[in-house]
Amino acid sequence: MSGFDLTPPDPAQRAALEAGLDEAERRVLLAHGTEAPFCGVFLDNKREGVYCCRLCGLPLFRSRAKFDSGTGWPSFFAPYAPEHIRYVRDTSHGMVRTEEVCARCGSHLGHVFPDGPPPTFERHCINSVSLSFVDAGQPLPDPLGRGGAEAGVAD
């Protein structure tokens, strides 16, 4: 267990978090949209740190798990902690895929595919707009004021 509180935001907290989203973030995070390939701000990010949920701040992926998949979206071979991602069967667009959502707030992140590199052979294909980034050594976001592990620093 990662030590992060996975309790969903209460309605007032959620409303406050959603109020800070722009149109593109709302379309992807709340309406399960997808950003265009090769345009996301984190596609070519090479800095060391942690990628967090844009809405609730939960750490989702470490930069050391990021790889260039050539797909046009940031890709990772493993999540920050398995319990930080929830998987949902997605049958939209005439195919069966596995959608990934934030385990705490339910925001849409992207999809996971079984064609990634070792050691997991997973490709977590994530929308940049679903993420925020914290440089290594900087405090992790804690927009819900939960403290604990969430008061830690990015590794």
Which member of 52, 53, 56, 125 is catalytic? Answer: 125
**b (16+ CB within 10 A) / e for 9-23:** beeeebeebbeebee
**Residues 53 and 131: beta-carbon distance below 8 Å:** yes
Tokens 């079984």 sit at which residue? Answer: 114
**Residues 110 and 100: beta-carbon distance below 8 Å:** yes
Q: How far is CA 29 from CA 13, 101, 109, 131, 150, in A?
A: 16, 9, 7, 9, 21
Q: Would you call 53 a catalytic residue per the annotation?
A: no
Residues that are catalytic:
125
